[in-house]
Amino acid sequence: MYTILKKQELNPTVTRMVIEAPEIAAKAKPGQFILLIVREGGERIPLTIADHDRKAGTVTIIFQIVGATTRLLNAMNEGESLYAFVGPMGKPTAIEGLRKVAVVGGGVGCAIAYPVAKELHEQGCVVHSIVGFRTKDLVILEDEFAACSDKVAAMSDDGTYGTKGLVTDALRNLIESGEKYDEVIAIGPLIMMKFVCKLTKEYGIKTVISMNPIMIDGTGMCGCCRLTVGGETKFACVDGPDFDGHQVDFDETMERARQYKDFERARDEHVCNLLKGAN
């Protein structure tokens, strides 16, 4: 169960894994997520489903090494099994009836934006993908986005890939040049989603964002993933993970995401040393 069938380094900090999980593969839809535990006693973390193959019974995850658990996950090899893998959780991204959409992905968020872009493309929707990375070495899914997009705007912070600048610059240019979108779907770092929403609010374009907050059970029991949307408390695990970006209190969400920073840093150092010792 939950065997890693394929492992591939997309860039030095981002890895793709194909996991054997037939029950989840049979039901997964773009926008949904899984929760996993690497080894017994480990932390439960949510990861959005990057792809699935119903026939093969597999689910693909793409993750960035950001802390102890993702570091441990990255240390797992093909043929090894994860301790727990559960899903598909959350509501699928609502894409029915959309005719023209700008899909904005930032960094590893592109891994989550891609299946949405692909699904939109398959239902005949015009897709403009705006992807942003810090630098060229961190670029992922370039060919995949090209294959499912009518237009791709590639951005990087340092100008080593595509155009130098932020995804919001590219989005503003597209809107200003007369592109009319039914919706913008933005997935990436909280700060990026916040500024995409600020921009689209100016133009009155509906914007959907995907949240990936800290979770424990992820099944609607603990309330850890709560956020304020339109002045109300919502749970990302059962009410989301997609929300109307213009209603989300990003500042609160960003603070909540930092709640265990010190613990996480110490834990990561500890795991890092352990893994070094093992090699």
Q: Which one of 30, 31, 46, 87 is in contact with other proteins (CB under 8 A)? A: 87
Residue 248 contacts other proteins per CB under 8 A: no
Instruction: Centre a 10 Å sphere on the Cβ of residue 79 and count the other Cβ atoms it contains.
Output: 9
* Site residues (CB under 8 A) for other proteins, limited to 11-70: 23-24, 26-27, 37, 41-44, 68-69
Long-range CB contacts for residues 123-128, cutoff 8 Å, separation at least 24: 123/95, 123/96, 123/98, 125/95, 125/98, 125/99, 125/100, 125/101, 126/99, 126/100, 126/101, 126/150, 127/101, 127/103, 127/151, 128/100, 128/101, 128/102, 128/103, 128/152, 128/153, 128/174, 128/179, 128/181
Residue 256 contacts other proteins per CB under 8 A: yes
Number of residues that bind other proteins (CB under 8 A): 41
* Site residues (CB under 8 A) for other proteins, limited to 165-224: 216-217, 219-224
Helix (H) or strand (E) holding 10: strand 4-11
Residue 76 contacts other proteins per CB under 8 A: no
> How near is the Cβ of 53 to other proteins at its closest, in Å?
16
Q: Which tokens hold the place of 9?
A: 């380094």
Task: From 122-130, 163-171, 187-195, 263-271, give the range in contact with other proteins by CB under 8 A.
Answer: 263-271
For other proteins, the binding residues (CB under 8 A) are 23-24, 26-27, 37, 41-44, 68-69, 83-89, 216-217, 219-224, 226-228, 233, 235, 238, 252, 255-256, 258-260, 263-264, 267
